[in-house]
Structure 1
């Protein structure tokens, strides 16, 4: 079977990815920072696991909760990071929507979230 034999594909282009799975129900809207942290844990490796964060923290702000991780210090601080990048998780206070932002410091991540939401507060 060639790529062009697959339904939804266009010759010369990669195959069409499968559709996203449907939502299993409404997203949970956290009532407080502890509930937001529990939702955020689903998006990170287990704290203390090999390659996992050393801790997860919540930064509450006007329209959401920013979940960010701390990582153990590198064995060689002069070496480039083994896994560069990473992301922060934001959970909306209005509807429980989960968003992913670059691994910026909390204040910069919140500012970016506000810009991306276009000033929406609900």
Structure 2
């Protein structure tokens, strides 16, 4: 279900995520999963809100934290999702930079992040 009152919302597509906060200094560097989750919350609709996720989860890996959402069960589990797509958020352990990867299972999303974020441009 989309929010037609939200600017940039398109019927039939997932809700438009909130705008990124203005970056006025260095990215906050999370020290643990809890801090990474607080940073990641800024990039998802509020948990439990209409059309929002039912929960947010952290998957820590070697160079970052993957924040991914769970969504409420559909009334008809055989029907395709009304709002397919979406993104997972990755927060770098090195510098706190926030990146977005497709809404893949955590292991696949981490692999994709590794492929696109090689240290020192390697």
Q: TM-score, normalised by structure 1?
A: 0.78
Q: Deviations over 1:33-79 (max 9, x none)?
A: 00000000000011111101000000000000000000011112222
Q: Distance in 2 between matches of 1:82 and 1:97?
A: 31
The root-mean-square deviation of aligned C-alpha atoms, in Å, is 1.8
Aligned counterpart, 1:25: 25
Count of aligned pairs: 101
CA distance in structure 2 between the aligned counterparts of 1:90 and 1:51, rounded to whole angstroms? 22
> Which structure has the higher relative contact order (CA within 8 Å, separation 6+)?
2
* Structure 1 residue 68 corresponds to structure 2 residue 68: yes
In 2, the alpha carbon distance for the partners of 1:102 and 1:72 equals: 19
Q: Pairwise mapping of residues 33-112 of structure 1 onto structure 2 (< 5 A)?
A: 33-112=33-112
**Could you state the TM-score of these two structures normalised by the residue count of structure 2?**
0.78
Change in CA separation of 1:105 and 1:121 when aligned onto 2, cut-off 3 Å: farther
> Please, which runs of 5 or more residues in structure 1 have no aligned partner?
1-20
Structure 2 unaligned runs (5+)? 1-20
Moved over 4 A (4+): none
Structure number, greater radius of gyration: 1
The whole-number CA distance in structure 1 between the counterparts of 2:52 and 2:82 is: 12
Check whether the contact 1:63–1:121 (CA below 8 A) recurs between aligned residues: no
| Cα separation, 1, equivalents of 2:113 and 2:32 | 19
